Amino acid sequence: MITSKHHDGFALFDSRVSSYDIVEATPYRKDPMKALAAEAKKQGLKFCFYYSILDWHYPAAYVDAPDKDPAAGNRTTKLRPGGKEEYVKYMKAQLAELITQYDPAVLWFDGEWQDWWTEEDGQDLYKFVRLLKPDIIVNNRVGKGRQGMQGMNKTDREYSGDFGTPEQQIPANGLPGVDWESCMTMNTTWGYKFYDDQWKSAETIIHNLIDIASKGGNYLLNVGPTAEGLIPAPSRERLREVGRWMKTNGEAIYGTTASPFPVQLRFGRATTKPGRVYLHVFDWPKDGNLRVPSWGVPVKKAYLLASPQNTLKFAPDHDGISVQLPAQPTDPVASVIVLESGK
């Protein structure tokens, strides 16, 4: 997921309908989105675009400041007469370029909070991009359905968009029956700021990833490059740690669904696949016995994902089972235990 155009209106792709883009307005003179889309396809990755409905640069709008809307960065836009129709035409032309030239799997809209943008506008834009690519996935910020930073759809009517977008938070108990994605930063800001050194630890980021997966959501983790196009060293360090953990435990994240347990586990979280439950243990039991509540399925086998050849002993315990663990966890951040139900 990469920004194609943010609130400043600058296109990071080769836009034929605007000269305010990376090809015409910078010495770089190349289209990085073209190369990135091709490489993502080569690597088997889904390529996705962020696109801001709000545009501080487009001449049909002018900036009115100061503004009391903190989400607008203390700036909002107002349109001159006829400006809305002109701008929507321009925006659709850019979106058509993005879809036809780069074939994104997701369009992640933002900046919909402006007074002049309505839910009807969002539904029209949603239909427009769906006509261009019927299987594209669109977030709920295309319209007016989200409830603040919770990012979830309101319930008073049917709103446009395919999934909710909680921002800088993880729903306490997930959102059963609703597709959602938590977008979060690695420190406290979305763009690069040299003075923002409040970095989340690798452990926190990994725990967030597990927590979100255990609740049936997706984790959209932001990385803000420097003005030189470099990923900051603290981001690289944390991403390497996530990669290290995922190399061993990715099976317990990719392609899984939410926890089968009705309440959150005291020792950590759980994810599932057909015939398997993955227990992500944050707090290793001091007595060596991991007590797991029943979820109505008999357990046939238990083992550590890091060493599947070594099975673990387990026995009935109250309303569930007790799994006998080694003295030390296999990973200090989160060890994964697999419970197979089989037949």
Per DSSP, the residues of 292-316 read EE--SS---EEEETTEEEEE--EEE
Query: Which pLDDT value is given to residue 74?
Result: 55
Say if residues 143 and 151 touch (Cβ distance below 8 Å). Answer: no
Q: Tell me the CB-side half-sphere exposure of residue 34, using CA atoms within 13 A.
A: 10
Residues 6+ apart with CB under 8 A from 247: none
* Whole-number pLDDT of residue 343: 56
Give the Cα separation of 258 and 293 in Å (integer): 16
Per-residue pLDDT, 81? 84
pLDDT at 52: 97
* Domains of the chain: residue spans and CATH: 2-252 (3.20.20.80), 268-340 (2.60.40.1180)
The pLDDT value given to residue 233: 96
Residue with tokens 């959209």: 220
**pLDDT tens, the chain, 343 aa long:** 999 999 999 999 999 999 999 999 999 999 999 999 999 999 999 999 999 999 999 988 766 655 555 454 556 677 888 899 999 999 999 999 999 999 999 999 999 999 899 999 999 999 999 999 999 999 999 999 998 888 887 888 899 999 999 999 999 888 878 899 999 999 999 999 999 999 999 999 999 999 999 999 999 999 999 989 899 999 999 999 999 999 999 999 999 999 999 999 999 999 999 999 999 999 999 999 999 999 999 999 999 999 999 999 999 988 899 999 999 999 999 999 999 996 5
